[in-house]
Structure 1
Amino acid sequence: MNGTRAIAIVAAAMAWQPMATAGEYEQNLARQLTNPVAALISVPLQLNYNSDIGPADDGRQSLLNIQPVIPFSLNDDWNLISRTILPIVDQQDIFPGAGSQTGLGDTVQSLFFSPVAPTAGGWIWGAGPVFLLPTGTNRLLTTDKWGVGPTAVALRQEGPWTSGLLGNHIWSFAGDSDRRDISTTFLQPFLSYTTPTAWTYTLQSESTYDWEASDWQVPIRGVVTKVTRIGDQMVSLGGGVNYWLESPDSGPEGWGFRFTLTLLFPR
């Protein structure tokens, strides 16, 4: 009887161990996703919806951001993280008489040089250049300007918590001389909590200050995501809501929505 019981206990332990390992694996991936400079290949597909756009508050916009993140190992001490944002836009009546537009928007390309290991104080950071590429396919979907500037991120991960700040500033340096120059600051503070079951709860803002127009756009956003597996593919699924605390007359107001599907390619 004792031998049979021992075999049963060992068999149960062997059956349980892969599930525990799988849970830890998904939790680790979820924590990596909260780090903008993690050495993890991912392709987020981020759908945003906003309304009450324009002086008459009758415009709306759907924005699908394709955001591949690709890390490159430079040496034992440094990584280069490429983060791209390519928007596909569908919008209507963003100002009276504007009609509707569908197509590509302008691309933002960021490159972060980041140490492989955190600092002695536990900080994870990265810095480098950011570029604005006028890839818009419609005059109302592009700035018609080339831009460049610095970008940086700093964060700490302690237990299940991740907190940090990502920012950049872009100045235009070339493009259509009839279009307004660009000088914008982007700030993204974020706070995330990841559970042992790979759920992540995030509170953040993605604020922009336009120095040419002296205007803020300030949303506050809550997002919930879950790392899971679809067949053999690791993914993160999520959704959330945002409220516009501050916006210019031409910007969105009230509530907005976000849905995300992120394809994960761990190495």
Structure 2
Amino acid sequence: MLRRFLLSTIAVSALAGTCSTAQEISEVEAQSRFDYSPLTETEPDEIAQAQQIASEDKAPGVVAAEAAGPDQAALAKAAQNPIASMISIPFQWNATPGTQWAPNSVDPDAKHDRVMNVVNVQPVFPFKLSDDWTLVTRTIVPFINAPFAKPKFDLTPAGEPYFDGWREKYTFGVGDVNPTGFFVPTLEGDFTFGFGPTLSFPSNKIPLSTGKWTAGPALVGVYTKGPWVVGGLVNNMWSFAGDDDRKDVNKMLIQPFINYNLPEGWYLSVSPIITADWENEDNGWTVPVGAGVGRVFTLGKQPINVSLHAYYNAIKPEIGGEELMGDWTIRTQVQFLIPTAKK
């Protein structure tokens, strides 16, 4: 269905060229007709979820005052809870080389020679609602540099425009913004959890945005014992408003995480981001396999969490019957931690 849609779109644009200039056809084709969103939907929203925020070891979801101390091992262990009561300002760079901008049914010359880059800025703020509950908010703002192309048109000897292939390039901008709020109960012991709504709203045009408003539930659980910090996050979002010409959104995210903490603030981490696009008529699953290493340290008085991960995309989504995503995704993160004071 997608293949027929893409091919028919090109044909319609070529016919329309008899009544307008080549430049006008190019702009209409690139910006309003051809739906590039599947290329970006496999990356920004899903990769943006892979974020860790510092917390207190003993009561992971409540207070992080002790994380500001000089013990690097305790600080590293505290930096791996996604629902902690700690202000955090992370910058996360995700690069996927070997990406193909479009199926060969659309562009026969397209190859796996492009790089998808997503830089996520994800400020996290906790709000104490009462002695029993804390609201932890996280807003993901993705900056995307995506493979892109515009159609090329030329003129026949009779002066009529015709489609003459694609002009490949990159496009840069802000993707869909994704705020989430987790309600976290005050618990004693090794386990904590949080739940709440997640929302995404469009902030740009094709191919950087889905063009849809989406919302759904989110749930996270964290278990901390000895050197281990283990847990998982899951959510599902459905579109409820937005551009009627864009496809509906119905996607799920599952992110398990396993962290083993080492001396002097070092840690090993496994945190793949498994996603499913239920609207994809081909294969909508993304299943990466890999791991990473990180360290928490202080620069002056500022605690910083730095990590490097590599994931092999064992299962990749299909667009027009083809896998366009590159085989590997490299995730680099620099996160500034601001522990809250215990009252």
Q: TM-score, normalised by structure 1?
A: 0.85
The amino acid of 2:316's aligned partner reads S
Offset of residue 205 of structure 1: 1.1
Q: Name the structure 2 match of 1:176.
A: 243
Q: Name the structure 2 match of 1:204.
A: 271
Q: Is the 8 A contact 1:70 1:82 kept in 2?
A: yes
Asked if 1:264 is matched to 2:337, the reply is yes
Evaluate the alpha carbon distance shift between residue 124 and residue 98 of structure 1 in structure 2; reply closer, same or farther with a 3 A threshold. Answer: farther
- Measured in 2, the distance between the counterparts of 1:255 and 1:187 equals 19
Offset of residue 118 of structure 1: 4.3
Q: Is the 8 A contact 1:160 1:194 kept in 2?
A: yes
Q: Is the 8 A contact 1:90 1:100 kept in 2?
A: yes
Asked if 1:75 is matched to 2:130, the reply is yes
Pairwise mapping of residues 94-109 of structure 1 onto structure 2 (< 5 A)?
Answer: 97=167, 99-109=169-179
Between Structure 1 and Structure 2, which shows a larger proportion of strand residues? 1
Offset of residue 142 of structure 1: 0.2
SS in 2 for 1:111: strand
Q: Is the 8 A contact 2:146 2:208 kept in 1?
A: no
Q: Name the structure 1 match of 2:80.
A: 34
Q: Name the structure 2 match of 1:244.
A: 313
Evaluate the alpha carbon distance shift between residue 65 and residue 146 of structure 1 in structure 2; reply closer, same or farther with a 3 A threshold. Answer: same
Evaluate the alpha carbon distance shift between residue 218 and residue 98 of structure 1 in structure 2; reply closer, same or farther with a 3 A threshold. Answer: farther
Asked if 1:132 is matched to 2:187, the reply is no
Offset of residue 27 of structure 1: 2.6
Pairwise mapping of residues 161-240 of structure 1 onto structure 2 (< 5 A)?
Answer: 161-213=228-280, 214-240=283-309
The amino acid of 2:289's aligned partner reads I
Deviation sequence 1:58-100 (CA, Å, 0-9, x none): 3321111001111111111111010111101112248965531
SS in 2 for 1:212: coil
Q: TM-score, normalised by structure 2?
A: 0.67
SS in 1 for 2:295: strand
Q: Name the structure 1 match of 2:326.
A: 253
Unpaired segments of 5 or more residues in structure 1? 1-20
- Measured in 1, the distance between the counterparts of 2:215 and 2:263 equals 40
- Measured in 2, the distance between the counterparts of 1:139 and 1:93 equals 10
SS in 1 for 2:131: coil
Offset of residue 167 of structure 1: 0.8
Unpaired segments of 5 or more residues in structure 2? 1-67, 104-110, 151-165
- Measured in 1, the distance between the counterparts of 2:138 and 2:146 equals 25
Query: Which of 114, 133, 138 is residue 59 of structure 1 equivalent to?
Result: 114
Q: Is the 8 A contact 1:59 1:93 kept in 2?
A: no
Counting matched residue pairs gives 243
The amino acid of 1:262's aligned partner reads Q
SS in 2 for 1:27: helix
SS in 1 for 2:271: strand
Offset of residue 220 of structure 1: 2.1
Q: Is the 8 A contact 2:229 2:260 kept in 1?
A: yes
SS in 2 for 1:99: strand
Q: Is the 8 A contact 1:53 1:94 kept in 2?
A: no
SS in 1 for 2:318: coil
- Measured in 1, the distance between the counterparts of 2:260 and 2:77 equals 9
Asked if 1:87 is matched to 2:87, the reply is no
